[in-house]
Structure 1
Amino acid sequence: MTSAAQEPAGRDTTRFVLIGTSHAGNVGATARAMKVMGFSDLVLVAPRFDDVLTQPDALDMACGATDVLENARIVGTLAEALDGVSLACATAMTPRDFGPPTHAPREYFAQLASTPHRVAFVFGCERYGMSNEDVYRCHTCLSIPTAPGYGSLNLSQAVQVLAYEWRQALGGFDVVPRTIDTQLASAAAVQGMLGHLEQALVHLGFLNPAAPKKLMPRLNQLFNRAQPSAEEIHILRGIANSILETHREPR
Structure 2
Amino acid sequence: MQDNRQPVVILVRPQMGENIGAAARAMLNFGLTEMRLVAPRDGWPNPKAVAMASGAAGRVLDRARVYPGLAEAMEGVDFAFATTARGRELSKPVFTPATAMAKARAHDGRCALIFGPERAGLENDDVARANAIVTVPVNPDFPSLNLAQAVLLMGYEWGRDSLPPEPAPQGRRTFGEVLADRVEIERLGDHYEERLTEAGFFFPETKAANMRLNLRNMWSRLSLTRGDVRILHGLLRQLTRR
Report the TM range for the smaller structure's normalisation: 0.7 to 0.9
AA at the equivalent of 1:34: M
Alignment CA distance shift 1:188-1:38 (3 Å): same
Hey, what's the Cα distance between the residues in 2 that align with 1:102 and 1:165? 16
How far off its partner does 1:33 sit? Answer: 1.4
The separation in 2 between residues aligned to 1:28 and 1:105, in whole angstroms, is 22
- The 3 A distance-change label for structure 1 pair 186 and 126 is same
Query: Partners in 2 of 1:124 and 1:32 — Cα distance?
Result: 18
| Equivalent position amino acid for 1:107 in 2 | T
The structural deviation recorded for 1:205 is 7.8
Percent of paired sites with the same residue: 32
Correspondence 1:1-251 to 2 at 5 A: 13-51=6-44, 53=45, 55-64=46-55, 65-168=57-160, 170-172=161-163, 175-177=167-169, 180-181=172-173, 184-194=179-189, 218=213, 219-239=215-235
Offset at 1:89? 0.4
* Secondary structure in structure 1 of the residue aligned to 2:9: strand
Q: 1:16 to 1:222 in 2, by over 3 A?
A: closer
TM-score when scaled to structure 1?
0.74
1:22 is displaced (CA, Å) by: 2.4
Deviations 1:125-169 (A, max 9, x none): 23342232322221110011221112122222221221222222x
Q: Secondary structure at the match of 1:122?
A: strand
Unpaired stretches in structure 2, ≥5 consecutive residues: 202-207
The CA RMSD measured in Å over matched residues stands at 3.3
TM-score for the superposition, normalised by structure 2: 0.77
Relative to 1, partners in 2 of residues 1:151 and 1:191: Cα closer, same or farther, differing over 3 Å?
closer
d(CA) in 1 for partners of 2:43, 2:194: 76
Partner residue, 1:3: none
SS in 2 for 1:113: helix
Contact 1:12/1:40 (<8 A) preserved: no
- Give the Å deviation of 1:118: 2.3
In the TM superposition, what is the alpha-carbon distance from 1:121 to its structure 2 partner? Answer: 0.2
Larger mean Cα displacement after TM superposition, 92-101 or 141-150: 92-101
CA deviations 1:98-120 (Å, max 9, x no partner) are 23211111233334433434221
Task: Work out which of the two has the higher radius of gyration on C-alpha atoms and give 1 or 2.
Answer: 1
Structure 1 residue runs of 5 or longer lacking an equivalent are 1-8, 208-212
Contact persistence 1:34–1:160 (CA under 8 A): yes
Residue aligned with 1:43, SS? strand
Shift of 1:85: 2.0
- Structure 1 CA distance for aligned equivalents of residues 194 and 39 of structure 2: 77
Instruction: Tell me, yes or no, if the aligned pair for 1:12 and 1:41 is still in contact at 8 Å.
Output: no
2:87–2:127 contact (8 Å) kept in structure 1 = no
